[in-house]
Structure 1
Amino acid sequence: MLFMDVHENLTGVKAADVAEAHQKDLAIQDQYGVDYRQYWVDEAGGRVFCLVEAPSAEAAAAVHKEAHGLLPDHAYPVTEGV
């Protein structure tokens, strides 16, 4: 399944920090059968969005938890458009 997970209220979030966290996700994602495809950073709004293919939202969150501890506030199932 494809999910968009959303991290909110990240005052002072910087794209460079998110890039580092994303690399940590990529390093362990295979252990959970997860594929973090892409992310977006809204520095001004203090939000991060992660597009992830995973067997469940819980599996995707487990990668974040182990990799860097930054759990999403929401995870929405999504359908990829053309």
Structure 2
Amino acid sequence: MALFMDVHNHVEGLTAEAVQGAHQRDLEVQARYGVDYKQYWFDEASGKVFCLVEAPDADAAAAVHREAHGLVADDITPVNQGS
């Protein structure tokens, strides 16, 4: 499994409650794709969201978002975890 950071550049009408609900739906779907959405960060003012995810590949990570809530990331980048 690889680690990825996905970025949503502008989610219209983003609120803390909305992003928490979307993350919860990711958690409900992720096992079907062998994915583990670990953490998310967001900026309500800009609508930007970052999600840290462990997945077999970027397509599997995107599939979870697509099924869970339809908000597919604009970019999905492989990352290495630092110490």
Distance in 2, matches of 1:66 and 1:12, equals: 20
Q: Is the 8 A contact 2:7 2:76 kept in 1?
A: yes
Moved more, 46-55 or 3-12: 3-12
Distance in 2, matches of 1:11 and 1:65, equals: 16
TM superposition shift of 1:11: 3.4
TM superposition shift of 1:3: 0.2
Q: Equivalent pairs: percent with the same residue?
A: 62
Distance in 1, matches of 2:24 and 2:47, equals: 20
Taking the TM superposition and a 5 Å limit, the aligned residue runs for 1:3-82 are 3-82=4-83
Which letter does structure 1 place at the counterpart of 2:5? M
Where has structure 1 moved over 6 Å in runs of 4 or more?
none
TM-score normalized with structure 2 length: 0.95
Alpha-carbon RMSD: 0.8
TM-score normalized with structure 1 length: 0.96
Moved more, 4-13 or 36-45: 4-13
1:41 aligned counterpart, secondary structure: strand
Corresponding residue for residue 3 of structure 2? 2
Which letter does structure 2 place at the counterpart of 1:51? L
TM superposition shift of 1:22: 0.5
**For structure 1, which runs of at least 5 residues remain unmatched after alignment?**
none
